[in-house]
């Protein structure tokens, strides 16, 4: 789980998705889902416009308000002989 810098939004990681949630007085409502399996760590940027999540081998960076993928960093593989 990660809290937006403004305190008005949450990101909650489930085994099969990441859910964007809005925090309102007395209730928390989901408003968007991103389908990523096995997210182990999630973090907002300082401004809150981006967030990064880490699955088994890649780091995905998403735009928070649109939910679109901004960057994807794949694991570097080294070959040892």
Q: Which domain holds residue 24?
A: 2-73
> 9-68: per-residue pLDDT in tens?
999 999 899 999 999 999 999 988 888 888 888 999 999 999 999 887 788 899 998 888
Count of domains observed in the chain: 1
Distance CA 28, CA 12 (A): 11
Residue 76 reports pLDDT greater than 80:
no
- Can you give the pLDDT at residue 30? 92
- Give 43's strand partners: 52
Q: Is residue 13 part of a domain?
A: yes
Average pLDDT over residues 67-79: 75
Distance CA 66, CA 29 (A): 17
Q: Is residue 79 part of a domain?
A: no
The CB density around residue 39, as the number of other CB atoms within 10 Å, is 20
Question: pTM, whole model, 2 decimals?
Answer: 0.80
């Amino acid at each position: 789980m990660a809290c937006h810098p403004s305190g008005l939004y949450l990101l909650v990681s489930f085994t099969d998705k990441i859910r964007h949630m809005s925090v309102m007085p007395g209730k928390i409502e989901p408003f968007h889902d991103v389908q990523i399996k096995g997210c182990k760590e999630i973090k907002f940027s300082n401004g809150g416009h981006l967030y990064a999540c880490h699955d088994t081998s890649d780091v995905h960076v998403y735009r928070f308000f649109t939910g679109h993928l901004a960057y994807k960093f794949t694991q570097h593989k080294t070959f040892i002989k």
